[in-house]
Amino acid sequence: MDARDVIKVGMSAERTLIVPPERTVGHFVKHMPMVYATPMMILEMEMTSGDAINRYLAPGWVTVGTEVDIRHLAATPVGATVRTTAKVIAVERRVIRFEVEAFDDKRRIGEGRHARGLVNVEAFTKRLGAG
pTM for this prediction: 0.94
Average model confidence (pLDDT) across the chain? 96
Contact indicator for 76, 17 with CB cutoff of 8 Å = no
Residues of the chain with pLDDT > 70: what percent? 98
Q: Which among 24, 44, 46, 101 is annotated as catalytic? A: 46
**In this predicted model, what pLDDT tens digit does every residue of 17-69 receive, in sequence order?**
999 999 999 999 999 999 999 999 999 999 999 999 999 999 999 999 999 99
Residue 125 a catalytic site member: no
Q: Which among 24, 72, 84, 85 is annotated as catalytic? A: 72
**In the predicted model, is pLDDT for residue 131 greater than 60?**
no
Q: Which among 16, 38, 81, 125 is annotated as catalytic? A: 38
What pLDDT is attached to residue 54?
Answer: 97
Residue 72 a catalytic site member: yes
Contact indicator for 73, 102 with CB cutoff of 8 Å = no
What pLDDT is attached to residue 128?
Answer: 87
Residue 63 a catalytic site member: no
Listed in sequence order, the residues at least 6 apart from 46 whose beta carbon sits closer than 8 Å to its beta carbon are 65, 68, 114, 116
Our measurement of the distance from residue 30's CA atom to the centroid of its chain's CA atoms, rounded to an integer in Å, reads: 26
Per the rule left: phi > 0, alpha: psi between -120 and 50, beta: everything else, 49 is alpha
